[in-house]
Amino acid sequence: MVDPQKIWSSSQLPTLPAVAVRLLDLSKNPDAEVNDFIEIIRTDPAISAKILKATNSSYFGFQSNVTTIDRAVPLLGTTVVTSLALSFSLVEAAMTTGPMVEHYRDYWMQSVIQAATAELLATKTPGSLGSEFFLAGLLCDLGRLAMLKTVPDESRQAIETARERGLDLFATENEMVGVNHVEVGLKLMESWTLPPATILAARHHHDPLELIQQHESANDSDLIHATAVASSVGDYFCGANKGQALDRLRVLTAAFYDLDETELEAFLSEAKEKIDSVGELFALNTEGLGDPHELMAQASEHLTQLALRQQAAAAEAVARQQKLEEQTRLLESKNKELTQQAIRDPLTKLYNRAFFDESLQRELDRCARAAATIGVMFTDIDKFKVLNDTYGHQFGDQVLKQAAGLLGGSIRKSDVLARYGGEEFVVLVAAPTEKGIAKVAERIRAAMEAAKFVFEGEDVPVTISVGAALAIPQRDTAELAEKLISEADEAMYDSKKNGRNQCHVRVLLSDAERVLMQKTTARRFSRWLVNRGVFDIPTVSKALVNFECPHVKIGDLAVRRTVLNSMEVDQILEQQQSSGKRFGEIAMQLELLTEDQVADLLAWQSECPQTLAVELVKKGLLERQAATMLLKTYIAEAPAPRENAMA
């Protein structure tokens, strides 16, 4: 790999002669006059002589002999003269001897082909300037010249590898050198302050059709199209992959110039005549390029060979892929099996205690960020030792498996059920209310009481005792996991001590937290819709199945809802860092938010109304217009700010 700095710091990097630099600068001045160009050209006798010779060549076809620059410049035009000056500079830069001469000659031949083709395409594009298209075609591969001069060994190796293996030079340079000729050429053109349109065309001349079409609305799209086609013509005449070049030509000319196969063949013949004419202008022998019709046959044969190779490679790849997929399926199946073994209880197939502990900590962290409630529920099968001793361990196992199914059917998909040990089961309840967790506990108890447990044809009564604990985590959740489990366990023993087959709930909330939770629940859009009589609770519950709301920080939400500004949010966050208190708690202490506003923000954070409204429309539960009106009414009922807030 080459450090690109080696290229930019090289003394061999192509440079423009002073006259070309001055002509380029002058061409950017809208007030420049023809005499200004004449004066600059006169300062370089060599350039003057070459321009005069070009003026009198058959390429321009003037009837009388032109003997002075004063006459030549007005006849050719300032843009053509500037293009010629740059072209002659590149001719000199590409002239060399030694082991690299072939690569320099190939570069210059392809550049001339691209220039001639681009100029020809200008005649098919109304309002286009031939000399501008000529220059873009000539310079689009300027980076190849720069790389040959500055990193000759690496460049030669990439060129020869691409040719031998039938690879794309652009991609081969990236892989072997670490930089490609397009990147190098663009940077060099920018340092020369060439016209932006020329640079843009060079940037995209190797791009696939779909990327080029993204510039259809650009002012310079015609130049981009012409340069891309000209580059493919250069590859067609000079490259080793004539089939791929022809394939690209068919695609580009059909898309940009609406050419069919016959018209493309005629265009290539016309291009060859133009190339011969431009080659004569630069004393370049183009006879060895071959006849376009013969090249077409070679390219078609090349494409056929490629198709056969690709077909064989595809068949081999399919076989390899099928084998790989089968191996992957086996591995995935084994990994899944091992994962399940690691997190599942082998008897009941429920999650095990280790998985529950990890889930509890993750949910604690999430609820701490969102100031949301979390619940833990402990259950214990009543007199399980007596059941084992009386009916045997096999029946005890049957009770455990049946109880696992009953518990699983009594909770929500978002809750986590695990076997905690022995006859104890534990449930992690997501975002519960006091009433909600009590209802779930009672549902579990009732399901067990109503279930039939049969031993040798005889019904065996089995009940369960349930205990639950509910809390809102502070920012530091380190001790809360243990406390929640302990409190839920104690609540379960309360049920045992009071006669079994009972439920007890311990609420670890302060009065302020309880009030805030109630207000937050009431302010949620789903609850608001129920209170309005738009839906009943079962219908809203269906809408909330698999409903996910993207998490937004409460500070960001407060700014978005215009109840706080960014300075006030920063003030709260600063105090939060030192105190560890919740955002809303600090905001109320600083009298920046009311309790109702904090509840409103927490409701939005846990259940985005706009997202829920879209979900209701998607599920056919609301018409779009009705959803919009309800959402506007809901937002309008947001609690008003304090009188001194946002002052």
pLDDT of residue 223 exceeding 90, the answer is yes
- 380: confidence class by pLDDT, cuts 50, 70, 90: very high
- Same domain? 475 vs 542: no
Q: Residue 318 falls within a domain, yes or no?
A: no
**Are 251 and 149 in a shared domain?**
yes
Residue 642: pLDDT band with limits 50, 70, 90: low
Percent of the chain with pLDDT over 90: 40
Least confident of 196-205, 315-324, 587-596: 315-324
* Position 82 in a domain: yes
Which of 275, 290, 305 terminates a domain? The answer is 290
Bridging pattern class, strands 374-381 and 464-471 = antiparallel
pLDDT grade for 322, boundaries at 50, 70 and 90 = confident
Kindly list the distances between the CA atom of residue 482 and the CA atoms of 33, 89, 228, 254, 416, in Å, as whole numbers in the listed order. 87, 81, 68, 71, 17
CATH number at residue 94: 1.10.3210.10
Examine the domain organization and report whether 543 and 441 are in the same domain.
no
Which backbone phi and psi does 375 adopt, to 5 degrees? -130, 145
What is the predicted pLDDT for the residue at 544? 77
Question: How many Cβ atoms sit within 10 Å of the Cβ of residue 318?
Answer: 10
Q: Which amino acid is at 324?
A: L
Q: Are strands 464-471 and 458-459 parallel, antiparallel or unpaired?
A: unpaired
pLDDT band at 644 (very low <50, low <70, confident <90, very high): very low
- Confirm whether 260 is domain-assigned: yes
pLDDT for the residue 647: 40
Whether 423 and 467 map to the same domain: the answer is: yes
Domain shared by 266 and 400, yes or no: no
Instruction: Give the residue-averaged pLDDT of 21-41.
Output: 85
115 occurs within a structural domain: yes
Are 182 and 125 in a shared domain?
A: yes
Residue 139 included in any domain: yes
Report the alpha-carbon distance of residue 339 to residue 359 in Å, rounded: 15
Query: Which structural domain, as residue segments, surrounds residue 98?
Result: 4-290
pLDDT band at 194, cuts 50/70/90? confident
In a domain, 465, yes or no: yes
Q: Check whether residue 494 and residue 542 sit in a common domain.
A: no
Extract the tokens encoding 400. Answer: 């455990």
Burial (CB count <10 Å: 0-12, 13-18, 19+), residue 566: exposed
**Across the chain, which distance is largest between two alpha carbons, in Å?**
124
pLDDT class of 101 with cuts at 50, 70, 90: confident
Residues 372 and 463 in one domain: yes
Mean pLDDT of the chain: 87
What mean pLDDT comes out for the span 159-187? 88
Question: Do 238 and 365 share a structural domain?
Answer: no
> Looking at the structure, do residues 545 and 479 belong to the same domain, yes or no?
no
Total count of domains within the chain: 3
Where a domain ends, among 477, 509, 541?
A: 509
Q: What is the average pLDDT across 18-33?
A: 83
The pLDDT score that the predictor gives to residue 307 is 59
- Classify residue 311: in a domain, yes or no: no
For residue 342, the tally of other CB atoms under 10 A from its CB is: 10
- 213: in domain: yes
The pLDDT, as a whole number, for residue 499 is 94
Q: Are residues 379 and 272 in the same domain?
A: no
Same domain, 505 and 365: yes
Q: Which residues, in sequence order, are bridge partners of residue 576? A: none
Which CATH number characterizes residue 415's domain? 3.30.70.270
Q: What is the pLDDT of residue 536?
A: 87
Out of 509, 538, 564, a domain closes at 509
Q: Is the pLDDT of residue 572 over 80?
A: yes
